[in-house]
Amino acid sequence: MHKVFIPIFLFSAVVFARPAPTQESTAIDAAAINAPQTTPLAPGAKGSAVARAQILLDRAHFSCGQIDGNYGTNLEKTVAAYERVRNLPSDGKISADVWKALNADTAPAIVTYTIDPHDVAGPFVNVPSSMMDQAKLPYLGYASPLDELAEKFHASPGLLQELNPGKDFSQAGQQILVPNAITMPPGEAASVVVSKSDSSVTAYDKQGHVLAYYVATVGSEHDPLPLGNWEIKGVARNPVFHYNPDLFWDANPHDEKAVIQAGPRNPVGVVWIDLSKEHYGIHGTPDPAAIGHTESHGCIRLTNWDASQLADMVKPGTPAILKE
């Protein structure tokens, strides 16, 4: 995605007495997610134990993108990164040792949240795929209260629905079960490294320790990542996007230059972290489920929540190393 130009809870712990389902179960069960796990997991697994691992990794600032209970490639890369930092065999599988480290976080993985009036206020809109049609909208908001709540808690809409069968997500005052994804910020980043081969963004402190790891969408064959040593120029929140079809190889030939208004479903999401390489930045996304699974127009795309967290960690002059 090319450069934008712009002049960006109520919780309570849930206590469950029911035992966790067996590893073979692929159902999403709040009691099982809150129960400490020890059984190893590998790519291809599904269910509550996977969701628990995703939540605990997210709380440790190792983000696999959406929390959805599926052990796919994003989670595999995130687990491998977590293992490397802890000097464990980096195979992307959740071993008993990985569980031991994750389970050291004793906060409940699932908590109760009371839907706030702001969560259901909107405006909600079904954002069209055409840039020309997007340019007609005054605001590119969430599609529904469920869409907004899922993003607030770093989850897929499907996972929230499985946790809350029959609940009305459009009703303020309704209590729902959500991932306990709100944690203390990681701290100030001394540098940011974008890895093309790993499709990730990693923030480091002054001592070279990992502060946060995020699965990302990084460049494409048509718009490769501009490898090299750059720096952060600044951060724009809730950016307006200036669309220029001349900069997009796959643009509709009938498209014209257009201004696309702000909103979480704006082409660059809720934040743009500007790089010293012209037309390039690290930014959010209108489609969190696609992170790590699609291509970008040369830029580095994160979920909105990860991009927002990273934006709080950097400042003008922070080194940004884009590597193979």
Q: What is the mean pLDDT of each run of 10 residues along the chain (324 residues)?
A: 37 35 66 95 97 98 98 98 97 97 97 98 94 96 98 98 96 98 94 96 98 90 84 97 80 87 96 94 96 70 98 98 96
In this prediction, residue 15 carries a pLDDT of: 33
pLDDT given for residue 105 in this prediction: 97
The model carries a pTM of 0.89
**286 to each of 1, 126, 264, how far by Cα in Å?**
12, 11, 6
Encode 5-20: b = buried (16+ Cβ within 10 Å), e = exposed. Answer: ebebeeeeebebeeeb
Q: How far apart are CA 90 and CA 48, in angstroms?
A: 23
DSSP 310: H
Domains and CATH numbers, the chain: 191-323 (2.40.440.10)
Write out the DSSP string of 130-182.
-HHHHTT-S----SSHHHHHHHHTTB-HHHHHHHSTT--TTSTT-EEEEE---
At 14, give phi and psi (nearest 5°).
-110, 125
Query: Which pLDDT does position 244 carry in this prediction?
Result: 86
